[in-house]
Amino acid sequence: MIEQVMNDPTAGQIFIIFVYRLFFVFGIIAFAVGVGLIVNHARTRRFCDYMNRWVSTRPATKWLAISQDTAAAEHRFRYSIGAVSILLAGFSVFVLIAQIDAERVAAAIPLNVPRAFEVLMIESVRRILIAGGLFAIAVGLMLIFFPKALRAIETRANRWYSTRTLVRNGDRMHVGFDQWLDGNPRVAGWIITSGALIVVVNFGILLLRLT
């Protein structure tokens, strides 16, 4: 369906017109900002300060960076969790081995790739899922019959990595360009105005040709 829409000349023309108008409109906005910096830097800067809003993702995503200990629930319901894991994983492995054939799946879902490559991808995914199902069965058995051994493995294997520490610098405001703009308003205005004028003229001509 998506391929048919992309190959439709009408849809392609609508998309091209949308992109041209997008660049044309933002070019006009950039041109107005550049002229404002040249003519009246203080007023343009106040307007930009009014429009700018800094939204930090750290408060909103704090709950994602808090470690949740599920050991108590796992120990309390270990028989139920283990039995469900074994049954579901066992059923999945049986279906994948007995009823899923890469050749038939490739024939039912043709992709725009060589047939041998498509079969290889499907077979690889099937084997990965089978391995995951067998692993889930093993975990379920250990949860029921060898909970202490599973807990020891989890203790050694589990590592908590907080994304808040890794992406801390990405959540800081960088105002180096703003400081340079405050110190060189006319230079920045002429640069922005010149670039925006080129964009507006070029995409304006392209839009006139399409219409």
**pLDDT for 197:** 93
User: Containing domain of residue 40, as a range?
Assistant: 9-49+74-159+175-210
The confidence score (pLDDT) of residue 167 equals 63
- Summarised one tens digit per residue, pLDDT across range 125-149 is 999 999 999 999 999 999 899 888 8
Contacts of 171 (CB under 8 A, 6+ apart): 56, 57, 58
Q: Indicate whether 60 belongs to any domain.
A: no
167 located within any domain: no
CB atoms within 10 A of CB 36: 20
Q: Quick one: angle between helices 185-210 and 176-183, nearest 10? A: 110
Domain assignment present for 2? no
Residue 164 covered by a domain: no
Q: Please tell me the predicted confidence (pLDDT) of residue 127.
A: 94
On whether the pTM is more than 0.85, the answer is: no
Asked if residue 62 is part of any domain, the answer here is: no
The reported pLDDT for the residue numbered 169 is 64
* 10-residue mean pLDDT series, the chain (211 residues): 50 80 92 88 76 70 70 79 93 92 83 83 93 94 88 78 65 70 82 92 86 66
Domain presence at residue 64: no
| Number of domains, the chain | 1
How confident is the model at residue 91, as a pLDDT?
A: 95
118 part of a folded domain: yes
- Check residue 1 and give its pLDDT: 40
Residue 55 placed within a domain = no
